[in-house]
Amino acid sequence: MPTPLKKLRLQGFNNLTKTLSFNIYDVCYADTAEQREAYIAYIDEAYNAERLTSILTDVADIIGANILNIAHQDYDPQGASVTMLISEEPIAAEHLSNTASPGPLPDAVVAHLDKSHITVHTYPETNPETGISTFRADIDVSTCGRISPLRALNYLIHALESDIVIMDYRVRGFTRDVKGKKHFIDHNISSIQNYLSRDTKRRYQMVDVNVYQENIFHTKMVIKQFNLDDYLFCIKARELSERDHRRIHKLLRRELSEIFYGRNLGRNLEFMDD
């Protein structure tokens, strides 16, 4: 856990804007058109607007925000979005410091703090040629004042249990202390990994690209353990022929590699275990 800065005494309101953005991916193999339709139906049910609203309600509570308004929508043929207007809770604010902390673990959507917001949009899709199906959720948690989106980090990663998580965190603007000095960040951070739980670090391989002088932090995570059964929909690995086992294994590893690296590579992740 990072060492907290000494609490700042400010002239007035904390004007720093802190934004945490996620791309979260779940990958599977569905062999037939019926299986692919069933996968999309499953994802649409598991991550519909009602459930996403529940997740974001928990997020608002975790970061110490008061929900002002909610807008949510399920789409045809698939996908969902949710929006919340939120503000800093007066009672919770009394116990907030000018530092961030990891926050709790859990058991898309949009939220807006006054001058801040949280958003989630979901994108299920399938490839009829290869049988690969992918679910993506885009999440933005943007706050100002003493509320920190980093407190929702571990909750969201666990609540959406994904194969790949790509995160960006940025602090913008400045706030002034009582002596008039500008502060462009109000907490210590060298990497988003500073705020990840131990079990998350054990489960994922991670890569960082950080621009410290601009207060921009970028972390990619891909699941370490590769078990083919975890990626098959409506079928078990033991039911596959040896040839199909190798083919599907290669397709899935390539899909994960290309999403993780953000480009078509034609090669597999080397560090994922079987």
Where in the sequence numbering do the catalytic residues fall?
A: 116, 121, 144
Structure tokens given for 156: 């969201």
Distance (Å) of CA 35 to CA 3, 101, 121: 49, 42, 24
Beta strand 175-176 with 110-113 is unpaired
